[in-house]
Structure 1
Amino acid sequence: MGWLAGLIQRHWQHPQTGLAILLWPLARIFQIIAMLRRWLYRVGLLPSKRLPCPVVVIGNIHVGGVGKTPLVAALVQALHQRQIKVGIISRGYGRSSKDTVIINARTTASEAGDEPLMLFKQTQAPIAVASTREAAGKALLQAHPDLQLLLSDDGLQHYALKRDMEIVVFPAADIGKTMDLLPNGPLRESLGRLHLVDGVIFSQGDAIATHRAQQLDMLKTQWCGYSTLNYADFYCLNQPRQTAQAIEFAGRHCAAIAAIGRPERFFQALQTLGIDLKQTIALDDHAVIKPADWPEADVIFITEKDAVKLTMPLQHNIWVLPLSAQICPDLAEFIQSRLQLRSTATIKTLS
């Protein structure tokens, strides 16, 4: 991360008056450009394509990690339980390839990107990545013509693709905060954008957080809810069947490394679980962990997102912390009802 980017991100967390004065005009220019761009797509002056299948965008108005990927996995699994055939489209941020890729068991993170590959491993759903989400959708529907629904992982601001529903993931910790647009703040679009979407999930929140957002008039959506995170036992990267609980690492020199949007959340989660971290290393989101990055420690903890980028076996004693999300109330039910999707069991009965 460059020093300027680091300075600005620290300013987002702890605003500095002098820097705010310098960045405020730039944020207004960014805001005007964002509003103009969205208006040009809405009135048709910029082309927007529709796919022959309903598209639901799971996106955000923040820059960086908001806990979106675990929610996409949870939503896919909930739709599978309702016997809805769903696929995922993405641009595959951080990948080195520009090709259109339909992910399979042999696909690498450099080909597909770390988040799409992790979603495939977690859900086994059909997933395609391409330079545009339209191209990803076309390729996926050609390979899987029976899909009933496409989830766009991110892409709220990708207006070149028409969408049937928009669901925004918003960090519960940011409810009530005064935040500006880039570069004076972390927002891609203003908070007023929340009034225009179909649903809002407050990540790592609760019913109290949702009620507070409603009191602050943040919401005018048909659906709102929250998500919680659940952590499973650690597993050894070189031997995934070997699992352990936090207490088993007591008395050992432990470190953690993460290349995710908000690595401090991962480090805090480890400490909350009882891991005594002697060292933490935060890399840029989607960065490849290089040999020189590994800390000297008895045990090193990483995220699932980073695990899919690593080629095994590795000489380090590396443990992965799996997590899953739970969405409340049932977002899958809302999507199924809104889009009038029939379960495959019902379709077979009718046919």
Structure 2
Amino acid sequence: MGWLAGLIQKHWQHSRIALVLLLWPLARLFQSIALLRRWLYKSGILPTKKLPCPVVVIGNIHVGGVGKTPLVAALVQTLQQRQIRVGIISRGYGRLSKETVILNAQSTATEAGDEPLMLYQQTQAPVAVASTREAAGRALLNAYPDLQLLLSDDGLQHYALCRDMEVIVFPAADIGKKLDILPNGPLREPVERLQRADAVVFSQGNTNSVQQAQQLNLIKTQWCGFSQLNYGDFYCLNQPQQTAKAHEFSEKKCAAIAAIGQPQRFFQALQMLGIHLKETIALNDHATIQPEDWPDAEIIFITEKDAVKLKKPLQYNIWVLPLSAQICPDLAELIQLKLDLHRSK
């Protein structure tokens, strides 16, 4: 099925009439099922569970990476600066364990998932993963009963868990594009879903992105903003205290490998920083990098998400590109005010 998935993803980028005729009816069926499912939960026909703590869902309507994870990390860190006790819950997509896990310094990506582990290492916030987000939330609250807020990393379509706020992350590059529902397009829900969220963040956008979305009526009166990515100095995987800037690799044979939602964005970021790549290898999102996957190069660049999955030390000369997000205006302030959260003592 790999070739079929690749064909469909290419169709999302450059529409093919034959595939439109084939996939458009399936997209309408998928859309009807998604709308019916949401209505069943909203009307109370399907049961929902509420946690004894406010829950904010940070999700998306796209399939694949939209820049959500660095945004979650930035939001958690800003809330911590405001002295709000915040925890993170997730299903830990891609992990092998099915147990409920509360992360600690010895946790691995195999048992917790790469994104939850990365968020834990970056923020040191309490993090739990489980087969359902409700189970993750209850386990985390049992371990940390003083938490004031839970952020659900992803889970916008997980309506079985009640949420106090919804934040949708939408790529600024997709504003104005004609995007369809799966499988004819990359969306899980129609773009009109943005109008029902409490807040919308246009990832890798700017003030023009917000204005364009408003002009196109993608959003109504809810809070909206944008996020931008900032890249730090490279650090060596085997010796994290060793850092370097892009120009220091100019005379080296460089390659990059990534197992993320949008690997091309990582490769493009490296090239924008001045790195000349002899080879790029794109793996499936959350995939584990196997020994045969490594390219033949003097320097190999990877993402932080991939770095947490690797057992160190490795024989390769691997360098990690750290990134952080900045959200404008202050989304943490909105959450604090809307949920009436007070600084912890």
User: Does the Cα contact within 8 Å between 1:60 and 1:154 map onto a contact in 2?
Assistant: yes
Match of 2:214 in 1: 214
Aligned match of 1:275: 275
Which amino acid in 2 is paired with 1:135? Answer: A
How many angstroms does 1:221 deviate by? 4.2
Which consecutive aligned stretches of 4+ in structure 1 deviate over 3 angstroms post-superposition?
A: none
How far off is 1:220 after superposition?
1.6
Q: Confirm whether residue 173 of structure 1 aligns to residue 197 of structure 2.
A: no
Shift in Å at residue 7 of structure 1? 0.3
Question: Hey, what does 2:144 align to over in structure 1?
Answer: 144
Whichever residue aligns with residue 286 of structure 1, its letter is H
Provide the residue aligned with 2:314 in structure 1.
314
The residue identity in structure 2 corresponding to 1:2 is: G
SS at match of 1:279: strand
2:97 is aligned to 97
Secondary structure of the residue aligned to 1:158 is coil
1:231 is aligned to 2:231: yes
Q: Partners in 2 of 1:25 and 1:202 — Cα distance?
A: 29
Paired position in structure 1 for 2:289:
289
1:349: which partner in 2?
none
Residue of structure 2 in register with 1:23 after alignment: 23
Residues 1:51 and 1:305: Cα distance change in structure 2 (over 3 Å): same
- Residues in 1 aligned to 2:128 and 2:211: alpha-carbon distance in whole angstroms: 37
Q: Residue 335 of structure 1 aligns to a residue in which SS?
A: helix
Checking the alignment, whether the CA contact within 8 Å between 1:196 and 1:221 is kept in structure 2 is: no
2:107 maps to amino acid: T
What is the correspondence of 1:1-351 to structure 2 with a 5 Å cutoff? 2-345=2-345
Unaligned runs of 5+ in 1: 346-351
Q: Equivalents in 2 of 1:166, 1:268: separation in Å?
A: 31
Q: Give the superposition deviation at 1:222.
A: 2.0
User: What are the Cα deviations for residues 285-334 of structure 1, in whole angstroms up to 9, with x where unaligned?
Assistant: 00000000000000000000000000001000000000000000000000
Residue 251 of structure 1 deviates from its aligned partner by: 1.6
Q: Does the CA-based 8 Å contact 1:197-1:221 persist in structure 2?
A: no
Mapped to 2, the partners of 1:241 and 1:196 lie a distance apart of 45
**Secondary structure, counterpart of 1:84 in structure 2:** coil
CA distance in 2, matches of 1:16, 1:271: 30
CA drift of 1:3 comes to 0.2
CA distance in 2, matches of 1:221, 1:137: 30
SS at match of 2:300: strand
Corresponding residue SS for 2:44: coil
Q: Aligned equivalents of 1:272 and 1:127: distance in 2? A: 34
Q: Is the 8 A contact 1:91 1:129 kept in 2?
A: yes
Residue identity opposite 2:87 in structure 1: G
Aligned-partner SS, 2:89 = strand
What RMSD in Å do the two structures reach over aligned CA positions?
0.6
Structure 2 CA distance, aligned partners of 1:13 and 1:149? 38
The alignment's TM-score, normalised by the length of structure 2, stands at 0.99
- SS at 2:239 equivalent: coil
Could you tell me the percent identity over the aligned residues? 75
